[in-house]
Amino acid sequence: MTILQEILAHKRDEVRSNKELYPIKLLERSTYFTSQTVSLKKYLQRSDLLGIIAEIKRKSPSKGYINRYISVEELSIGYMQAGASALSVLTDEKYFGGSAQDLRLARQANFCPILRKEFIVDEYQIVEAKAIGADVILLIAAALTPAQVASFSAFARSFGLEVLLEVHTKEELASHLCDSVDLVGINNRDLHTFTIDVRNSLEIGALVPPGMIKISESGLDDAATVVRLKQAGFNGFLIGEAFLKSAKPDQACGMFIEAIRQGLHVVNGSAGQREAQPSAQTEFVAKKTVT
Protein backbone atom coordinates (compact mmCIF):
# COMPACT_ATOMS: atom_id res chain seq x y z
CA MET A 1 0.00 0.00 0.00
CA THR A 2 1.39 3.42 -0.99
CA ILE A 3 1.27 6.38 1.40
CA LEU A 4 -1.47 7.93 -0.77
CA GLN A 5 -3.57 4.77 -0.56
CA GLU A 6 -3.05 4.68 3.21
CA ILE A 7 -4.13 8.32 3.57
CA LEU A 8 -7.22 7.78 1.42
CA ALA A 9 -8.27 4.70 3.39
CA HIS A 10 -7.89 6.61 6.65
CA LYS A 11 -9.78 9.56 5.17
CA ARG A 12 -12.79 7.42 4.26
CA ASP A 13 -12.95 6.14 7.85
CA GLU A 14 -12.60 9.68 9.16
CA VAL A 15 -15.44 10.94 6.97
CA ARG A 16 -17.74 8.16 8.16
CA SER A 17 -17.05 9.14 11.76
CA ASN A 18 -17.45 12.87 11.13
CA LYS A 19 -20.81 12.37 9.43
CA GLU A 20 -22.12 10.94 12.69
CA LEU A 21 -20.52 13.56 14.92
CA TYR A 22 -21.24 16.59 12.72
CA PRO A 23 -24.23 15.95 10.42
CA ILE A 24 -24.63 18.13 7.34
CA LYS A 25 -27.59 19.90 8.97
CA LEU A 26 -25.23 21.03 11.71
CA LEU A 27 -22.58 22.20 9.24
CA GLU A 28 -25.19 24.25 7.41
CA ARG A 29 -25.70 26.36 10.54
CA SER A 30 -22.21 27.83 10.20
CA THR A 31 -22.10 31.58 9.62
CA TYR A 32 -19.70 30.92 6.74
CA PHE A 33 -22.23 28.74 4.95
CA THR A 34 -24.10 31.72 3.54
CA SER A 35 -21.12 34.06 3.23
CA GLN A 36 -19.63 35.03 -0.11
CA THR A 37 -16.33 33.40 -1.03
CA VAL A 38 -13.16 35.20 -2.13
CA SER A 39 -11.96 34.29 -5.63
CA LEU A 40 -8.52 32.74 -5.87
CA LYS A 41 -8.67 33.13 -9.65
CA LYS A 42 -9.01 36.90 -9.32
CA TYR A 43 -6.29 37.24 -6.67
CA LEU A 44 -3.81 35.26 -8.76
CA GLN A 45 -4.34 37.70 -11.64
CA ARG A 46 -3.84 40.87 -9.60
CA SER A 47 -1.02 43.02 -10.97
CA ASP A 48 0.07 44.15 -7.49
CA LEU A 49 0.69 40.59 -6.28
CA LEU A 50 2.99 37.79 -7.48
CA GLY A 51 0.80 34.73 -7.03
CA ILE A 52 2.36 33.19 -3.93
CA ILE A 53 -0.02 30.80 -2.14
CA ALA A 54 1.57 30.49 1.29
CA GLU A 55 0.89 27.18 2.99
CA ILE A 56 0.30 26.42 6.65
CA LYS A 57 1.22 22.88 7.68
CA ARG A 58 3.04 21.42 10.64
CA LYS A 59 4.39 18.17 9.21
CA SER A 60 4.41 15.85 6.20
CA PRO A 61 4.33 12.05 5.89
CA SER A 62 7.84 11.95 4.41
CA LYS A 63 9.62 14.43 6.70
CA GLY A 64 7.72 14.42 9.96
CA TYR A 65 7.40 17.74 11.78
CA ILE A 66 8.55 20.79 9.83
CA ASN A 67 7.23 23.44 12.22
CA ARG A 68 5.39 22.01 15.21
CA TYR A 69 4.57 25.26 17.01
CA ILE A 70 2.64 27.30 14.45
CA SER A 71 0.32 30.08 15.54
CA VAL A 72 -2.14 29.99 12.66
CA GLU A 73 -3.54 33.44 13.40
CA GLU A 74 -0.15 35.14 13.59
CA LEU A 75 1.38 33.25 10.66
CA SER A 76 -1.59 33.74 8.34
CA ILE A 77 -1.62 37.48 9.01
CA GLY A 78 2.16 37.61 8.60
CA TYR A 79 1.99 35.81 5.26
CA MET A 80 -0.58 38.26 3.89
CA GLN A 81 1.33 41.28 5.18
CA ALA A 82 4.43 39.88 3.46
CA GLY A 83 2.65 40.02 0.11
CA ALA A 84 1.17 36.55 -0.36
CA SER A 85 -1.80 36.29 -2.73
CA ALA A 86 -3.61 33.55 -0.81
CA LEU A 87 -3.35 30.97 1.94
CA SER A 88 -3.36 27.18 1.79
CA VAL A 89 -4.28 25.43 5.03
CA LEU A 90 -3.73 21.69 5.65
CA THR A 91 -6.70 20.31 7.55
CA ASP A 92 -5.57 16.68 7.75
CA GLU A 93 -4.57 15.87 11.33
CA LYS A 94 -2.96 12.42 11.25
CA TYR A 95 -0.46 12.95 8.44
CA PHE A 96 -0.02 16.74 8.31
CA GLY A 97 -0.80 17.92 11.84
CA GLY A 98 -3.61 20.22 10.74
CA SER A 99 -7.29 20.61 11.59
CA ALA A 100 -10.49 22.27 10.50
CA GLN A 101 -9.94 24.71 13.36
CA ASP A 102 -6.72 25.89 11.69
CA LEU A 103 -8.70 27.00 8.68
CA ARG A 104 -11.35 28.65 10.83
CA LEU A 105 -8.64 30.67 12.58
CA ALA A 106 -7.09 31.72 9.28
CA ARG A 107 -10.54 32.76 8.02
CA GLN A 108 -11.29 34.81 11.12
CA ALA A 109 -8.02 36.68 10.82
CA ASN A 110 -7.90 37.38 7.06
CA PHE A 111 -9.92 38.51 4.07
CA CYS A 112 -8.18 36.63 1.28
CA PRO A 113 -8.67 33.43 -0.70
CA ILE A 114 -8.12 30.31 1.42
CA LEU A 115 -7.55 26.88 -0.09
CA ARG A 116 -8.57 23.91 2.00
CA LYS A 117 -5.71 21.45 1.42
CA GLU A 118 -7.33 18.10 2.06
CA PHE A 119 -7.76 14.64 0.56
CA ILE A 120 -11.36 14.87 -0.60
CA VAL A 121 -13.10 11.53 -1.12
CA ASP A 122 -16.71 12.46 -0.31
CA GLU A 123 -19.15 15.32 -0.94
CA TYR A 124 -19.44 15.71 2.83
CA GLN A 125 -15.94 17.24 2.92
CA ILE A 126 -17.01 19.86 0.39
CA VAL A 127 -19.92 20.93 2.59
CA GLU A 128 -17.50 20.94 5.51
CA ALA A 129 -15.06 23.15 3.56
CA LYS A 130 -17.76 25.75 3.02
CA ALA A 131 -18.80 25.56 6.68
CA ILE A 132 -15.28 26.26 8.01
CA GLY A 133 -14.67 29.23 5.74
CA ALA A 134 -12.74 27.88 2.75
CA ASP A 135 -12.97 29.54 -0.67
CA VAL A 136 -11.31 26.82 -2.73
CA ILE A 137 -11.15 23.04 -2.52
CA LEU A 138 -8.47 20.70 -3.80
CA LEU A 139 -9.29 17.66 -5.92
CA ILE A 140 -6.34 15.31 -6.48
CA ALA A 141 -6.52 13.47 -9.80
CA ALA A 142 -4.40 10.59 -8.48
CA ALA A 143 -6.98 9.98 -5.73
CA LEU A 144 -10.18 10.27 -7.80
CA THR A 145 -11.72 9.00 -11.00
CA PRO A 146 -12.58 11.46 -13.78
CA ALA A 147 -16.27 10.94 -12.95
CA GLN A 148 -15.65 11.82 -9.30
CA VAL A 149 -13.77 14.99 -10.25
CA ALA A 150 -16.62 16.06 -12.51
CA SER A 151 -19.23 15.33 -9.82
CA PHE A 152 -17.33 16.84 -6.88
CA SER A 153 -16.30 19.97 -8.78
CA ALA A 154 -19.86 20.66 -9.94
CA PHE A 155 -21.09 20.12 -6.38
CA ALA A 156 -18.47 22.53 -5.00
CA ARG A 157 -19.37 25.17 -7.57
CA SER A 158 -23.00 24.98 -6.39
CA PHE A 159 -21.79 26.35 -3.04
CA GLY A 160 -19.75 29.13 -4.65
CA LEU A 161 -16.46 27.34 -4.02
CA GLU A 162 -13.71 27.36 -6.62
CA VAL A 163 -12.02 24.09 -7.57
CA LEU A 164 -8.29 23.41 -7.91
CA LEU A 165 -7.52 20.20 -9.77
CA GLU A 166 -4.08 18.79 -8.92
CA VAL A 167 -2.38 16.65 -11.55
CA HIS A 168 0.99 14.91 -11.59
CA THR A 169 1.09 13.62 -15.17
CA LYS A 170 -0.02 14.57 -18.69
CA GLU A 171 -2.40 11.62 -18.63
CA GLU A 172 -4.15 12.91 -15.49
CA LEU A 173 -4.60 16.32 -17.09
CA ALA A 174 -6.14 14.79 -20.21
CA SER A 175 -8.48 12.44 -18.34
CA HIS A 176 -9.58 14.57 -15.35
CA LEU A 177 -9.85 18.18 -16.54
CA CYS A 178 -13.49 19.24 -16.95
CA ASP A 179 -15.56 22.39 -17.34
CA SER A 180 -16.33 22.76 -13.63
CA VAL A 181 -12.64 23.00 -12.67
CA ASP A 182 -11.42 26.58 -12.10
CA LEU A 183 -7.68 26.15 -11.68
CA VAL A 184 -5.07 23.51 -12.51
CA GLY A 185 -2.26 22.73 -10.09
CA ILE A 186 0.74 20.80 -11.36
CA ASN A 187 2.56 18.92 -8.64
CA ASN A 188 6.29 18.59 -9.27
CA ARG A 189 6.65 15.71 -6.79
CA ASP A 190 6.57 12.16 -8.09
CA LEU A 191 4.17 10.34 -5.75
CA HIS A 192 6.12 7.09 -6.03
CA THR A 193 9.77 8.19 -5.75
CA PHE A 194 9.21 11.60 -4.05
CA THR A 195 11.68 13.07 -6.56
CA ILE A 196 10.93 16.70 -7.36
CA ASP A 197 11.39 17.98 -10.89
CA VAL A 198 10.08 21.47 -11.63
CA ARG A 199 10.27 20.71 -15.34
CA ASN A 200 7.07 18.77 -14.72
CA SER A 201 5.25 22.10 -14.46
CA LEU A 202 6.72 23.35 -17.72
CA GLU A 203 5.93 20.18 -19.65
CA ILE A 204 2.37 19.71 -18.38
CA GLY A 205 1.70 23.44 -18.23
CA ALA A 206 2.20 23.69 -21.97
CA LEU A 207 -0.81 21.38 -22.41
CA VAL A 208 -3.20 23.31 -20.15
CA PRO A 209 -5.92 25.03 -22.22
CA PRO A 210 -5.37 28.76 -22.86
CA GLY A 211 -7.02 30.98 -20.27
CA MET A 212 -6.93 28.36 -17.51
CA ILE A 213 -5.19 29.53 -14.32
CA LYS A 214 -2.04 27.45 -13.74
CA ILE A 215 -0.40 26.81 -10.37
CA SER A 216 2.96 25.13 -9.78
CA GLU A 217 3.28 23.05 -6.61
CA SER A 218 6.21 21.54 -4.64
CA GLY A 219 9.94 22.21 -4.74
CA LEU A 220 9.69 25.96 -5.25
CA ASP A 221 12.44 27.15 -2.92
CA ASP A 222 14.33 29.24 -5.49
CA ALA A 223 13.09 32.67 -6.63
CA ALA A 224 14.70 32.28 -10.07
CA THR A 225 12.61 29.15 -10.64
CA VAL A 226 9.43 31.09 -9.91
CA VAL A 227 10.55 33.83 -12.32
CA ARG A 228 11.06 31.20 -15.02
CA LEU A 229 7.61 29.73 -14.35
CA LYS A 230 5.97 33.16 -14.48
CA GLN A 231 7.58 33.67 -17.87
CA ALA A 232 6.04 30.34 -18.92
CA GLY A 233 2.56 31.59 -18.04
CA PHE A 234 2.06 30.31 -14.49
CA ASN A 235 -0.17 32.43 -12.27
CA GLY A 236 0.26 30.78 -8.88
CA PHE A 237 2.96 29.12 -6.80
CA LEU A 238 2.08 26.94 -3.82
CA ILE A 239 4.90 27.19 -1.28
CA GLY A 240 5.00 25.89 2.27
CA GLU A 241 8.10 24.05 3.37
CA ALA A 242 10.53 26.65 2.00
CA PHE A 243 8.95 29.14 4.41
CA LEU A 244 7.99 26.88 7.31
CA LYS A 245 11.49 25.53 7.90
CA SER A 246 12.50 29.08 8.83
CA ALA A 247 12.17 30.32 12.40
CA LYS A 248 10.07 33.20 11.01
CA PRO A 249 8.11 31.83 8.04
CA ASP A 250 6.32 35.11 7.31
CA GLN A 251 9.63 36.97 7.02
CA ALA A 252 11.00 34.20 4.78
CA CYS A 253 7.92 34.64 2.61
CA GLY A 254 8.48 38.39 2.36
CA MET A 255 12.15 37.96 1.43
CA PHE A 256 11.23 35.36 -1.19
CA ILE A 257 8.64 37.64 -2.76
CA GLU A 258 11.12 40.52 -2.88
CA ALA A 259 13.67 38.24 -4.57
CA ILE A 260 11.07 37.37 -7.21
CA ARG A 261 10.35 41.06 -7.80
CA GLN A 262 14.04 41.74 -8.28
CA GLY A 263 14.39 38.75 -10.60
CA LEU A 264 11.47 39.91 -12.72
CA HIS A 265 12.93 43.41 -12.89
CA VAL A 266 16.26 42.04 -14.11
CA VAL A 267 14.63 39.72 -16.64
CA ASN A 268 12.26 42.33 -18.00
CA GLY A 269 15.06 44.87 -18.22
CA SER A 270 17.33 42.42 -19.97
CA ALA A 271 14.59 41.42 -22.39
CA GLY A 272 14.05 45.02 -23.35
CA GLN A 273 17.74 45.55 -24.07
CA ARG A 274 18.71 42.18 -25.54
CA GLU A 275 15.64 40.36 -26.83
CA ALA A 276 17.68 37.70 -28.56
CA GLN A 277 19.75 36.76 -25.50
CA PRO A 278 18.57 34.61 -22.58
CA SER A 279 18.92 36.16 -19.15
CA ALA A 280 21.84 34.84 -17.10
CA GLN A 281 20.03 35.75 -13.89
CA THR A 282 17.25 33.17 -14.37
CA GLU A 283 19.22 30.01 -13.72
CA PHE A 284 16.64 27.27 -13.50
CA VAL A 285 16.92 24.79 -10.64
CA ALA A 286 15.10 21.86 -12.18
CA LYS A 287 15.62 18.65 -10.29
CA LYS A 288 16.36 17.41 -6.82
CA THR A 289 15.53 14.46 -4.63
CA VAL A 290 13.51 14.75 -1.46
CA THR A 291 14.28 12.31 1.28
Catalytic residues: 55, 57, 117, 166, 187, 217-218
d(CA 261, CA 247): 23
If phi over 0 gives left and psi between -120 and 50 gives alpha, with beta otherwise, what is residue 131?
A: alpha
Kindly state the DSSP code that residue 274 receives in the 8-state scheme.
-
Contact 181, 270 (CB under 8 A): no
Which DSSP letter does residue 36 get? P
Beta bridge partners of 196: 189, 288
Nearest to 149 by CA among 159, 137, 132, 160: 137
What's the CA gap between 93 and 54, in Å, rounded? 19
Task: Give SS3 for 273.
Answer: helix
